[in-house]
Amino acid sequence: MSGSRLVASRRAVLCLLPLAVTACASGGRGGEAARVAPYELVYVANEASGTVSVVDVARRSVQVVDLTELGYGDNPRPHHVAVEPDGSHWYVTLIGRDRVLKFDRRNEPVDSVTFQVPGMLALVGNDHMAVGRSMSAVNAPQRVGLIERGSMALEEIDVFVPMPHALAADPAGRWVFTGSMHENTLVRLDPSSGRADLTRLTEGHDDAHALMQYAVSPDGQTLVATAERTGKLLVFDITEAPAMRLTHEIDVGPQPWHPAFTPDGGEVWFANLAADQVTVVEASSWMVAEVIRGQGIAEPHGIVVSPDGSRAFLSNRNTSGDYSGQGRFGPSAGTLVVIDVPARRVLDVIEVPHYGAGVAVAGAR
């Protein structure tokens, strides 16, 4: 059921220019930033500051939606975001307030729903959205949420595993995938019937992988899972329902976080939170093709690839202040790093408020 409709909004617009001195009003840019393509807005949840950054990458400007000013307390902890393919609405989970919020393209709040310790979001088909539980939850219900995006009506569906955190949907919207942070169990959920089929990793998997997050290939045939504790990328064939068959285990470095396929399905990109790097894995060979480090990559968290496959947008926590920026947020700032996907190099660093977590862009999976 939908929560109370929100009617008030107070926002601050901040022009952040960490790499070059330019004019925000004119949209001027300098250096590498001049070659950044004009994409739709990028949304970054700033968990520690209680804000969401709406970043116009082409103009290098940041609009900050302050959730504390909207009445969600001093520590709402916005964690993950999702955007409608046409950019008409966007959604954010609030760990600290047990809410999923809905905003319109003007960044005005329009609706909300109550859900205990929400974590990841995944759009399902044209009409629904799945929501999992935050990894910080204690004794969270063994259920995921299915939200009708128009009305924000919520149904909770049993998945029978503790801490269902990782979350993804196949491109056709037929399946929702989740899994346990506490045991090596993956779940394929049929949202139309509520049926949950479990795949348990047994032989050779004595230690819990801590399944962090999933991504499904554009052709819907492959699911990848990052394993926080074991530093692996797990690859599954998901064509033989209801089972998910493990085909590859790749060592990819410490704390692999949120993965994303390129639109052609040729590569998987993800951050290594504990290593200040981005890892690129080729899907044809399932081997590490590149490790990217550079300015602004400091405790990287989420990543999304632009719909045309030319840019990757990486959110960074920077809680230790390793990145010393030039903008108004200073060394405590989070960052949004823009990466040239074909060249595999950092193009731009845009500062956002503290602790960049989930990231999303319209039209990207």
Please determine, for residue 15, whether its predicted confidence score (pLDDT) is greater than 70.
no
For 20-41, what is each residue's pLDDT tens digit?
Answer: 222 222 233 233 333 444 457 9
Q: What angle do CA 246, 252, 255 make, to 5 degrees?
A: 100
CB-based burial of residue 119 (10 Å sphere; 0-12 exposed, 13-18 middle, 19+ buried)? Answer: buried
Helix %, strand %, coil % of the chain (to 5) = 5, 50, 50
For 45-68, what is each residue's pLDDT tens digit?
Answer: 999 999 999 999 999 999 999 999
Please determine, for residue 278, whether its predicted confidence score (pLDDT) is greater than 90.
yes
pTM more than 0.85: yes
SS3 193: coil
171 strand-pairing partners: none
Cis peptide leading into residue 242 (ω within 30°): yes
Separation between Cα atoms, residue 286 and residue 71, nearest integer Å: 46
Token pair belonging to 117: 């310790």
Specify the pLDDT at position 36. Answer: 43
Specify the pLDDT at position 12. Answer: 32
For the segment 90-118, the average pLDDT, to the nearest whole number, is 97
